[in-house]
Amino acid sequence: MLELSDRNVAALRRVLEQPDSNGRYHPVREIARGGMGVVWEADDRELGRRVALKILPFGAASADWLCREARVLAGLEHPGIVPVHDAGLLADGRAFYAMKLVQGNRLDQAVAGLTRNQRLRIFQRICEPVEFAHSRGIIHRDLKPENVMVGEFGEVLVMDWGVAKLSSGGPETGIIGTPQYMAPEQAAGANDTVDQRSDVYGLGGILQFLLADQPSSRPLQAICKKAMAQDPRERYATAAAMSADVGKFLEGEPVSAYRENPFEVAWRWMARHRTLVLLFLGYVVMRALVLYFLGR
């Protein structure tokens, strides 16, 4: 019997996993691969455009899961969430859905070389679609840098809603999410208690990642700490509230998560009114010089 090497088996599997090139969607290249399927860049022959085509392995369970993810995305029409164009079954029976092809980089790749304030503004853009999803009763449950894309024109998109929780869904079992960014209630498998504050925990992890190689700041550390509190009741109630605190920091205002001492209050005021402070100091120096020369 002919034995195939692991390399040959992997190559054969990749060939078999390609979508049928004779159908509506012609595969161009593989973009990503994970436990829930493979994403291809493909040509949509009917409409003459490039799309991202997500295809799941054979099996009814995976098909049901894919249809669920497609329905979640279809119900979230927001500039920060990739729109779904089409969904169904390929000729070989595998489930698929086609979505907008995002040209750009993952967050963990896109922030290299950016200043702290630029990163914070990107973070606020991440909070917007998350807050929108929460307003529609949908919890992402797997927020992490790898699931955020920054497009070539600066657009910020939250990706991979495959494990999202719907408020109208039934009971679930098992641990869902990525350990490093997973809220304690998720890690405990207490999915019935998972709510928007669980996503706030994930946002805290993303903010912590964005600040890892940046100058330390106690107010920003306090924001991360509050977002990632072990007790959900001690976290920000919403993604919007967390984003608002980041906005206050950017504007030179006090943030709700951190209590300043008098020295910090004065320092922040001077930093915010730098021009006024410099003018005043200039006036004091000039006046001192005038008095000095007049007194000689």
Cα–Cα distance measured from residue 38 to residue 172, given in angstroms and rounded to the nearest whole number: 25
Average of pLDDT values for 6-33?
Answer: 73
Q: What is the pLDDT of residues 256-268, one digit of tens each?
A: 998 876 656 566 6
The pLDDT > 70 percentage for the chain reads 76
State the average pLDDT for the chain. Answer: 85
- The residue ranges of DSSP E strands in 156-257, in sequence order, are 156-158, 165-166
Q: What is the pLDDT of residues 251-294, one digit of tens each?
A: 988 999 988 766 565 666 666 656 665 665 676 777 766 666 67
Query: Any idea which architecture 11-100 has in CATH?
Result: 2-Layer Sandwich (3.30)
- CATH of span 104-250: 1.10.510.10
**Domain map (residue ranges) of the chain:** 11-100, 104-250, 262-294
Interacting residues of 97 by C-beta distance below 8 A, sequence separation 6+: 53, 54, 66, 69, 70, 73, 84, 86, 87, 88
Question: So what's the pLDDT on residue 88?
Answer: 85
Q: What is the pLDDT of residues 73-131, one digit of tens each?
A: 888 999 999 999 998 888 888 888 899 999 899 998 999 999 999 999 999 999 999 99
pTM: 0.82
Query: What residues are labeled active site?
Result: 142
Q: What is the pLDDT of residues 123-134, one digit of tens each?
A: 999 999 999 999
